[in-house]
Chains A and B, each alone.
Chain A
Amino acid sequence: MCECKLSEGAKAKFAELDAFIDGLGINAKDDRRRGYLIQVLHKAQDIFGYLPREVQKHVADKLVLTEAQVSGVVSFYNYFTTDPKGKYCVNVCLGTACYVKGSEKVLSEIERVLGVKADTVPTADGLFSISALRCVGACGLAPVMVVNGKVYGKVTPAKAVEIINEYKAKG
């Protein structure tokens, strides 16, 4: 992509990604360079928040892979997303332990309150996006929800709304 069209913020992000990839010491002629792909995509998603097409293309160029190879991997794994996320990512665990403790009700209440469905678009104000998650391994606290990495245990639909409201107040 033409560098001149990029904003200063985006330039800095691509520079950060490049510095990481260059640090891996990948040899373009090594058949095994592809083994770095998932690691690089994790870093790219950390930096950009999601993996839009231009980022995928950039990664493909840097690792000397085809865009199709990169896109195939991105679309295969649940962890990678091609859509932007809200400022706060609300993840509700739908693992078995949480499911039998009623996490589906927690999820539908959050969807109702925020007015968006899980794994779709963020809320109109850009604050929240909702995802369903498969087990964070904190089954002792079921049902569990995670907001930007912070785990909340033993949530009820009412408690989930309280938590959402706390973040809403923060803005």
Chain B
Amino acid sequence: MNKITSQQDLLAAFNASKNALALRCVSEHDINSKKKDILCCGGTGCHASNSNVMMDNLRQLIKEHGLENDVRVVQTGCFGFCAQGPIVKIMPDNVFYVQVQPEDAKDIVEQHIVNHQLVERLLYVEPMIKERIHDYAKMSFYAKQERIALRNCGLLDPEDISEYIAAEGYQALAKCLFDMKPADVVQEVLNSGICGRGGAGFPTGMKWKIAAGVQADEKYIVCNADEGDPGAFMDRSIMEGDPNSIIEAMAIGGYAIGAQHGLVYIRAEYPLAVNRLQLAINQAREVGLLGKNIMGTNFSFDIDIKLGAGAFVCGEETALIHSMEGMRGEPTTKPPFPANIGGGYWGCSTNVNNVETYASIPVIIRKGAKWYAKIGNWKPELDENGNFVKTISGNAGTKVFALAGQINNVGLVEVPMGTTLREIIYDIGGGIAGGREFKAVQTGGPSGGCITKENLDTPIDYGSLAKIGSMMGSGGMIVLSDKDCMPAMAKFYLGFTKDESCGKCTPCRIGTRRMLEMLEKICDGTATEETLVELEKLANTIRDTALCGLGQTAPNPILSTLRYFKDEYIAHVRDKKCPAGTCSKLYTLKITDACKGCTKCARNCPVGAITGEKKQKHVIDVNKCIKCGACIDGCPFKAIVKE
């Protein structure tokens, strides 16, 4: 690609490359088309399921059939439907294949590509109608979604900047540089109503306005890609699938607030995302979309990557900044805020936003704030010029959720704000796995709380979730069924926050440990009802006194489970029973008379705790048993029970 040194050059590059997407963005689908693009998911999840071997096989077979001039195999970002991966989508045929293994490449090429026939066995079975369908738009998983931040994931090759340019990429930046003043850009973002998608929900435009108002020669714009909530993976998917949108948005932010330097702070646990982002930065530099005098203007901007090293607290912006400075990632009190002089990176004014927030910015600029503000359930108060004054209720735009846990359709879903949890869990998520009963959904990860059946019709926005004792968080949504124990879930989260507490302030350092100890006692059956009273008191104290967000929100999983599932706690401390049957100290395994003596459990038992003659009822030696559950999972007669 030629160097882009003006707006005309960008337009020329767009015109030259837009053909690359011709087959993928068609309105008429045609399985008989000679030319085809085979889009294969190249995200971490599908990679782990051998999608790269499958792609190699496809390429090899296409070559063997002499079709390499007509059929391209394109590695794209994540399609979001991770439960069904690896995913292959063929365009312009609009055929969506699921769970494609390396050996399936043969059928795809010979049956579909050569003979234009669907490979029925690889089609998705829509659970609502129990039929195999090929059109992804008709799948209940996708039907209610509105993909804005994820718009390019599963569409473009993230390793080729020309595909991003073909999808109108960098045109929002050009619009800012040539048609808008920095203050106009800030106003546009403010009017769009977008709030920080990292979890706190602070209006992004407001953040930019504060940073833009600081008079300084050296300012920084930072992308917080330290996706620490275990169970959330939208930021990883965006960086892997559409890294250029982050680069473009950061440049837009740089122009708006007057920063020349961008930094992406990214977790070292995401090697693929780091590589893709670095590649995209290199390509953007090569074509002149990063660097000095972008598109021939006076605006210069460049981006560097800073690696994290595994510390949850570094998602907090002051801790993140200290980590980028090569220090321990400990937070400091605000003010000074990062935007203030003395509060940011090396003391310079710094603006920090989350990956998903940035991913939405280029579309907001290109299509306009009004377009974005209409998506979702946002009711703002506007002044006479139509500019944002304050939010009355709801939020604008979409939010990406990582749906995981005991749910059928695990994956990434992007829905308009105001969608209800019921729609997400039952319509998009396909209900609870294994036909079990819904118990709760945990949002906001270790800082959040649980939402119960009674609140399933709550519209999802920052305010509504806070009202019912949970929080939006970064968008992790862990669905729990009747076999999950709530005190054990609280214990799990406290184990996490105890490990991740940086140790700077006492309430968090000591408090999380004490709370964890109490939860351990509860789950072991050695606690009393008094423990529950103490636990609640301590949780409230820590919430009020800890230094940063990590400590202040660490008690949330306890407070929220105590609020909605007090009976489970009572069962643990008073009756010494775990109703969900997960706390191993509170039950023993027993074989009932339903046992037919098939010997399977005795063979499955890793510690040899089960004995018995063939065709005779077997017995478990409770002293040897490690309660791993291998016997229960394998028993064909459901003869093993927890008591």
Contacts and interface: CB of A to CB of B under 8 A. Distances in A.
B48 A141 contact: yes
Interface stretch (B149-157, B225-233, B286-294): B225-233
B401 to A, nearest CB: 11
B325 A158 contact: no
5 contacts: A38-B308, A79-B309, A105-B628, A108-B626, A151-B47
Contact of B227 (A42, A137, A140): A137
A53 to B, nearest CB: 18
Contact of A140 (B45, B324, B628): B45
A38 B323 contact: yes
The 6 closest A-B pairs by CB, nearest first: A140-B82, A95-B230, A151-B48, A78-B310, A77-B309, A37-B326
Interface in B119-167: none
A115 to B, nearest CB: 13
B606 A109 contact: yes
A158 B338 CA distance: 49
B411 interface: yes
A118 interface: no
What is the size category of the interface that chain A forms with chain B?
35 or more
B230 A135 contact: yes
Interface in B310-335: 310-312, 323-329
B405 A97 contact: yes
Given A36-B326, A96-B230, A136 B44 contact: yes
Interface string A106-132: 001100100000000000000000000
B82 A139 contact: yes
B310 A134 contact: yes
Contacts, number: 158
B44 A151 contact: yes
Contacts of B309: 38, 41-42, 77-80
A152 B47 CA distance: 10
Contacts of B406: 100
A153 interface: yes
B307 A141 contact: no
A25 interface: no
Given A35-B326, A151-B48, A96 B311 contact: no
Interface string A46-89: 00000000000000000000000000110011111000000000
Contacts of A141: 45, 48-49, 82, 85
A93 B325 CA distance: 29
Given A78-B309, A105-B629, A153 B48 contact: yes
A34 B327 CA distance: 8
A109 B628 contact: yes
Most buried by B among A78, A94, A135, A136: A135
B47 A140 contact: no
Contact of B478 (A96, A108, A138, A153): A96
Contact of A138 (B44, B229, B268, B630): B44
B346 interface: yes
A15 to B, nearest CB: 23
A17 interface: no
A108 B325 CA distance: 38
B606 A157 contact: yes
A38 B410 CA distance: 34
Interface of B: 44-45, 47-49, 82-83, 85, 227-233, 236-237, 268-271, 306-312, 323-329, 346, 402, 404-406, 410-411, 442, 445, 476, 478, 480, 484, 489, 492-493, 496, 499, 502, 604, 606-607, 626, 628-630, 633
A32 interface: yes
A98 to B, nearest CB: 8
A137 B268 contact: no
A97 B311 contact: no
A85 to B, nearest CB: 15
Given A34-B326, A42-B268, A139-B404, A96 B492 contact: yes
A153 B629 contact: no
Given A38-B306, A94-B230, A105-B628, 10 more contacts: A32-B325, A35-B325, A73-B327, A76-B311, A78-B311, A79-B309, A96-B445, A96-B493, A100-B406, A135-B229
Nearest to A39: B307
A20 B555 CA distance: 44
Nearest to A93: B230
Most buried by A among B45, B311, B312, B496: B45
Contacts of B606: 109, 112, 157
A48 B512 CA distance: 34
Contacts of B49: 141, 153
Contacts of B310: 77-80, 134
B548 to A, nearest CB: 15
Contact of B492 (A34, A35, A99): A99
A74 to B, nearest CB: 9
Contacts of B328: 72-73, 76
B630 A97 contact: no
Nearest to A139: B404
Contact of A137 (B236, B329, B493, B499): B236
Contacts of A35: 306, 324-326, 346
A68 to B, nearest CB: 11
Most buried by B among A36, A133, A134, A150: A134
B478 A100 contact: yes
